[in-house]
Amino acid sequence: MSINILMPSLSPTMTEGILQKWLVKVGDQVKAGDILAEIETDKATMEIEAVDEGKITDIIVKAGTKGVAVNSIIAVLNNSEKDVKNIIKTDIQENKFKIKDKKVKMVEKKLVDTNDSLISQKKSITKKNIDIIASPLANKIAKIKNINLNSLTGTGPAGRIIKRDIEKLDRQDHPLISSAKYEIFEPSSIRKIIAERTTQTINTVPHFYLKIESEVDKLIILRNKINAQSLDNKVSINDLLVKALAIAQNENPQTNVSWFKGKIIQYSSVDVSIAVALKQGLITPIVKNADSKGLLELSKEIKILVKKAKEGKLVPEEYQGGTISLSNLGMYGISEFTAIINPPQSSILSVGSIQKTTKVNENKIEIVNILKSTLSADHRVLDGAVAAKLLKDFHDIIENPFDLWLQSKDMEVI
């Protein structure tokens, strides 16, 4: 009996995917657990495993095929001659309908073309004896660009065709760009999802923004001391910020919520999503229970997640969910910015680069390191004071990072 291998749904947002590569061929014998192919989803490239045992008799979808619908047949195990005949019979029946449908469409197209032709002839006859009035500049541009002035309607005096009429034609045929040379290409699956979700989020989630500046000299000193003792694993400022944000949210459970279909979801764990930039778009791997993990453990986990994200090897449970996000553009020299909330979360913290500035302390001018942070919050579930308390606690932790060290069980005495 033949067994169909279907295109799997590897994430809640996945409706179709790209079958990147087959790792088996027709004639191969497979058993449950064997890797069959690589599928590119809306977030990552993943491997699919065989569920049943048998012989690959048919590969329906070729490697490299885009837009393969979820639950469609991509291959068949143990296909018998009888099954082949049934498939052929079904295909013939489907093709009959396709041919019939094609004939109907051809007749419809012929009628439309005939109608268009009559309209075109009528226009031609109407315009035949009418002189085209155009400005000298419009005539010159039309000749250079090989534009038929008969196809234009003038907006100048007495219907005169002028320069802007030709520019309007250009704008209709081409995207609004400043360069005459450009390339149009198909966006990646990740980019399509980002476009859809960010547009939906910014239009449906009422954002408000809170900003704060923090002196992080002590945070830098702590990082340097940790790294002086740890030879194998160096802790980054971003690792410390993730831990600080996790502690702050743990101290403010009323911010650990989501709005979903008119209900409020309260979470019991603190799972911090980290924005990672890829060539094809953005992905947010999650550090789960980040508030309870030591700094060294957290730092190692972040490095593994970032590496897997860049290699396209994250599994859905490693990037779906999360209770709050951290987006850091400091490495690009950005001093501050505001980010769009990553649903279903209710807040995202964006941080910029650490910058030196001057400060007056007891009538003395000092140079201090400043970090600017912006919290984007969902007003459906978070009020200003609640979100402000979360940001203030984060600020206090990174200004006096004793709690970062104290709550990290893998830290030595420093």
Domains detected in the chain:
3-79 (2.40.50.100), 131-184 (4.10.320.10), 190-406 (3.30.559.10)
End-to-end C-alpha distance for the chain, whole angstroms: 67
Helix-, strand-, coil-residue percentages of the chain, each rounded to 5: 40, 25, 35
Residues known to be catalytic: 379
Q: What is the DSSP letter of 271?
A: -
pLDDT value, residue 180: 56
E-strand stretches of 251-301: 257-260, 263-266, 272-274, 276-278, 281-283, 286-287
pLDDT value, residue 157: 77
Distance CA 225, CA 234 (A): 11
Residue whose C-alpha is closest to residue 155's, from 171, 169, 141, 172 = 169
Q: Which residue matches tokens 């209710």?
A: 346
CB atoms within 10 A of CB 152: 18
Determine the number of helices (DSSP H) and then strands (DSSP E) in the chain. 9, 19
Q: Which residue matches tokens 């970032």?
A: 306
Residue whose C-alpha is closest to residue 162's, from 144, 184, 140, 146 = 140
- Residues composing the chain: 414
Distance CA 345, CA 342 (A): 6
Where the chain has pLDDT below 50, the residues are 88-89, 91-92, 94-100, 102-104, 107, 111, 118, 122-130, 174, 176-178
pLDDT value, residue 282: 87
Task: Indicate if the alpha-carbon torsion angle 340, 345, 347, 351 is positive or negative.
Answer: negative
Nearest 10 degrees: Cα torsion 334, 338, 341, 347: 100
Distance CA 350, CA 222 (A): 22
